[in-house]
């Protein structure tokens, strides 16, 4: 994955090729509200290294990724940007609009190209007013994002490069949906906020252990279970926060049945 940054706008996807609603937040809405939201959205193709917004910039669009994924970046003083979170098909970009805030708190960089649903800020606000289920859903997702941002802050302070790199690779694989990731060591160092030599050493140790294979900018996860064991506890913690608010359909039905019987 290149560290080159583009400011080109998202490219519209032809209507005939419009993807199904494979974003997990949209899929969690009741059928009527889901259909209403999708009717307002347009499918777009997000490009690798495309910047969707800058910190402090007025929010023009919200994005619900399908198979693309986005890094949330913070910059302190004159230091290089640092990744504070990642958004894929499990979430959305532009959540601050649900709080009545029109400016982005973090920059957003497309880390994995692919499709997303895009909706203008004004139309999104109007849909929030019309749809109580959407408001409740995004309140739960806001809790997840806050918990994950808190986890990221602790991870940056206390965890070593190797476990953090394993966590990052797992997060990226989850959102990419496959084992191969096009990524350079320079870009990994940029995302993790460390020197490139640290990434080289950590990736080399993982390769010697048979967890990954890295060759000419293409990284392949060979041992998913081993990578999970090597990752810091923040990965499982983040997964737990999401699962608690958005359980799998079978678990959700059992939970609802239990609550209704009380």
Question: Does the residue 150 lie in any domain?
Answer: yes
The pLDDT of residue 193: 86
Q: What distance in Å separates the CA atoms of residue 184 and residue 217, rounded to the nearest whole number?
A: 5
pTM for this entry:
0.85
**Is residue 246 included in any domain, yes or no?**
no
The CATH number of the domain where 186 resides is what?
1.10.10.10
Domain count, the chain: 2
Q: Is residue 120 part of a domain?
A: yes
Poorest-pLDDT segment among 4-8, 26-30, 53-57, 148-152? 4-8
CATH code at position 89: 2.60.120.10
pLDDT score of 57 more than 70:
yes
Give a yes or no: residue 248 inside a domain.
Answer: no
Quick: pLDDT tens for 128-168. Answer: 999 999 999 999 999 999 999 999 889 988 999 999 999 99
Residues 145 and 42 in one domain: yes
* Least confident window among 58-67, 82-91, 110-119, 247-256: 247-256
Residue 184 domain boundaries:
159-233
Mean pLDDT taken over the chain: 88
Q: What is the mean pLDDT of residues 78-88?
A: 89
Instruction: Mark whether 153 and 165 lie in a shared domain.
Output: no
User: Do residues 48 and 140 share a domain?
Assistant: yes
164-212 confidence digits (pLDDT tens): 999 999 999 999 888 999 888 888 998 898 999 999 999 999 999 999 9
Residues 31, 146, single domain; the answer is yes
| Pair 152, 186 in one domain | no
**76 and 142 belong to one structural domain:** yes
Shared domain for 169 and 132, answered yes or no, is: no
Pair 146, 34 in one domain? yes
What is the pLDDT, as a whole number, of residue 8?
42
User: Is position 240 within any domain?
Assistant: no
Residues 73, 136: one domain? yes
Query: Do 81 and 198 fall within a single domain?
Result: no
């Amino acid at each position: 994955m290149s560290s080159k940054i583009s400011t080109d706008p998202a490219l519209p996807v032809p209507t005939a090729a419009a993807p199904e609603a494979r974003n997990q937040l949209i899929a969690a809405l009741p059928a009527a509200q889901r259909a209403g939201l999708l009717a307002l959205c347009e499918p777009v193709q997000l490009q690798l290294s495309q910047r969707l917004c800058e910190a402090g910039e007025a929010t023009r669009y919200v994005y619900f990724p399908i198979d693309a994924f986005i890094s949330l970046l913070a910059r302190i003083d004159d230091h290089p940007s640092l990744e504070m979170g990642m958004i894929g098909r499990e979430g959305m970009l532009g959540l601050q609009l649900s709080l009545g805030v029109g400016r982005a708190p973090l920059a957003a960089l497309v880390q994995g190209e692919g499709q997303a649903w895009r909706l203008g800020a004004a139309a999104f606000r109007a849909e929030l007013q019309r749809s109580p289920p959407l408001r409740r859903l995004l309140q739960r997702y806001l809790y997840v994002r806050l918990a994950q941002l808190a986890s990221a802050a602790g991870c940056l302070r206390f965890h070593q490069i190797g476990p953090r790199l394993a966590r990052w690779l797992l997060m990226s694989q989850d959102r990419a949906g496959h084992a191969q990731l096009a990524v350079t060591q320079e870009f990994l160092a940029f995302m993790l906020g460390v020197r490139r030599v640290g990434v080289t050493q950590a990736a080399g140790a993982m390769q010697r252990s048979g967890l990954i294979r890295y060759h000419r900018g293409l990284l392949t996860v060979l041992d998913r279970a081993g990578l999970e064991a090597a990752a810091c506890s923040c990965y499982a913690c983040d997964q737990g926060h999401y699962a608690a608010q958005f359980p799998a359909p079978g678990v959700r039905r059992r939970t609802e049945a239990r609550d209704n019987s009380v």
